[in-house]
Amino acid sequence: MTQSLTIARPDDWHLHLRDGAMLTAVLPETARHFARAIIMPNLVPPVVTAAQAATYRDRILAALPDGMVFEPLMTLYLTEETDPADVAEAHASGLIKAVKLYPAGATTNSASGVADFDKVRGVLEKMAEIGLPLCVHGEVTDADVDIFDREAVFIDRVLDPIRKATPGLRVIMEHITTSDGVDYVKSNDSDLGATITTHHLIINRNHILVGGIKPHYYCLPVAKREEHRLALRAAATSGDARFFLGTDSAPHTDPNKLSACGCAGCFTATNTMPLLAHIFEEDGALDKLEAFASRNGPVFYGLPVNNTTLTLTKSDIATLFPNQITSDDGPVTVFDPGYPIYWTAS
Active site residues: 248
The packing angle between helices 84-92 and 121-130, to 10°, is 20
State the Cα angle at 288 between 284 and 292, rounded to 5°.
Answer: 130
Nearest to 43 by CA among 18, 61, 64: 18
Please check whether residue 200 is in contact with residue 229, taking contact to mean a CB–CB distance below 8 angstroms: yes
Q: How far apart are CA 271 and CA 276, in angstroms?
A: 9
Q: Strand order in 12-15's β-sheet?
A: 12-15, 36-39, 71-77, 96-101, 134-137, 171-174, 192-196, 243-245
Give, as one character, the DSSP assignment of residue 38: E
State which amino acid sits at residue 310: L
Nearest to 130 by CA among 171, 173, 169: 169
Q: What is the largest CA-CA distance in the chain?
A: 59
Q: How far apart are CA 230 and CA 228, in angstroms?
A: 5
Long-range CB contacts (within 8 A, 24+) of 123-127: 123/78, 123/82, 123/83, 123/84, 123/87, 123/99, 124/162, 124/166, 124/169, 125/84, 125/166, 126/84, 126/85, 126/87, 126/88, 127/87, 127/99, 127/166, 127/169, 127/170
DSSP, collapsed to helix, strand or coil, labels residue 192 as: strand
Residue 234's contacts (CB-CB under 8 Å, 6 or more residues apart) are 182
